[in-house]
Amino acid sequence: MLLVIAVLLASQARGASVALVQPMVADSLRLLQHLSTTRVGDVELVRISDLARIAGATRYWRADVRKVVLKKDAHKLRVAMDNRYAVLDGTAMNLRAPAHGIDGEPGIPLVAVVPVLSALTDDRFAWNAERREVEVPASVALQMRPPSAGAAPAPAPFEGFAATIRPIRLVVLDPGHGGLDAGSIGAKGVREATVTLDIARRTAKLLRARKIEVVLTRDRDRTRSTIERAQIANGAGADLLVSIHANSSWAADAEGFEIYCLGEGRIPETKSSASIDFVSWDVAQSSHVARSCDVARAVQLSLARELGLRNRGVNHAPLPLLRCANLPAIEVDVGFLSHPSDEALLGTAVFREQVARAVAAGIEHYGAADQEAIR
């Protein structure tokens, strides 16, 4: 048996509604309840509180950063207002349109309802485009809100809300390039996009073993723009963004690793302009520069101890992703694919595991220092 959420009105103006109905004999439907929808611009929204009730999930709301979390069993969905990317169980989810507030309460696009509910409940929801219906498995026990009930109860406070400086609990790892953008390619054919994804996956595994949550901006060989990467990072509610790259240069003797945090100056010549997606956003990183540089130094020291490569230090540049990140953010360049020795190392799983251990250790060290700062 299926329960069905049917969109009653084709109009998507404010005041439209969604009906909860149950199939009966001969395909007839019995009305159970209405849900209101709200249009913001061209997007029809459903309240997060209604999704939480349908899925049997718990809501947490952090007003200072306008983010909401839904938790259901082992699943966790993080949604940031005015951002089209949510984070589900550590993986970026495209909501197809930004989430918005509805009379002070978060709402997500109607087109995202099926994938969100399916993921939270581990049940197969389906969308009937012709009838504009969302079919809900009967195994999902709906908690019906009485018709006389007013506004939904306020969500519970977000975990750790009172902390001014939080220890590292959630990290966004950004494997540079991918998909149509291979990044730098060494003389022996080692691809930057492949190297960065492998290092990011290894680093994520190590951090998760340390009880630190991780979100990857890409988890396979796919194309992501700078804006998409920034939206994922900003929407995740993370404590840190680490973008992983390999370097390349026309200078034959350029080798080693280096770390970047946001700063004034020119894009360095070692960063290929073809690999940079320039954006016109305002600088969001300004309030996080000091902490970003602290993280950069911690990761630099860890890489220096672990790798034995030339240490090119912590550098400052207006790299586009760092400019757009509204959280502490660094870029780690793990070697030069244009240098034969560095390329040979980056082509081995043993070296990439060393890099991952060093990056994870640097993050953990910084996080431990941060924890001391708030005690």
Question: Nearest 5°: CA angle at 161, between 155 and 107?
Answer: 35
In angstroms, rounded to a whole number, what is the distance separating the alpha carbons of residues 139 and 188?
54
Q: What is the pLDDT of residue 131?
A: 66
* CB of 125 closer than 8 Å to CB of 118: yes
Domains parsed from the chain with CATH numbers: 2-157 (3.30.457.10), 170-373 (3.40.630.40)
Q: Which residues, including other chains, have CB under 8 Å from residue 65's CB and lie 6 or more apart?
A: 80, 237
* CB of 108 closer than 8 Å to CB of 46: yes
Q: What is the pLDDT of residue 275?
A: 40
Q: What is the pLDDT of residue 140?
A: 60
Classify residue 8 as exposed, middle or buried by CB count within 10 Å of its CB (0-12, 13-18, 19+): middle
Question: Nearest 5°: CA angle at 88, between 288 and 75?
Answer: 120
Q: What does the DSSP assignment read for 101-144?
A: EETTEEEEEGGGHHHHHHHHHTS--EEETTTTEEEEETTS---P
Q: How many CB atoms lie within 10 A of CB 126?
A: 13
In angstroms, rounded to a whole number, what is the distance separating the alpha carbons of residues 122 and 62?
26
Phi, psi of 303 (to 5 degrees): -65, -40
Q: For residue 208, give both structure tokens.
A: 């998760």
Segment-wise mean pLDDT, segments of 10 residues, the chain, 375 residues: 48 53 54 69 85 84 75 89 84 86 81 88 76 67 47 42 56 96 95 97 96 94 92 88 95 93 64 40 60 91 92 90 89 96 96 96 79 40
Q: What is the pLDDT of residue 23?
A: 57
**Alpha-carbon distance values, 302 to 88, 336, 359 (Å):** 30, 18, 7
For tokens 């259901």, the residue is 72
Helix (H) or strand (E) holding 332: strand 329-336
Strands (DSSP E) along the chain, which ranges?
2-7, 17-23, 29-40, 43-47, 58-62, 67-72, 75-80, 85-88, 91-94, 100-102, 105-109, 126-128, 133-137, 156-157, 170-175, 213-216, 240-247, 257-262, 311-317, 329-336
Sign of CA dihedral 263, 267, 270, 275: positive
Q: How many CB atoms lie within 10 A of CB 345?
A: 21
Q: What is the pLDDT of residue 90?
A: 81
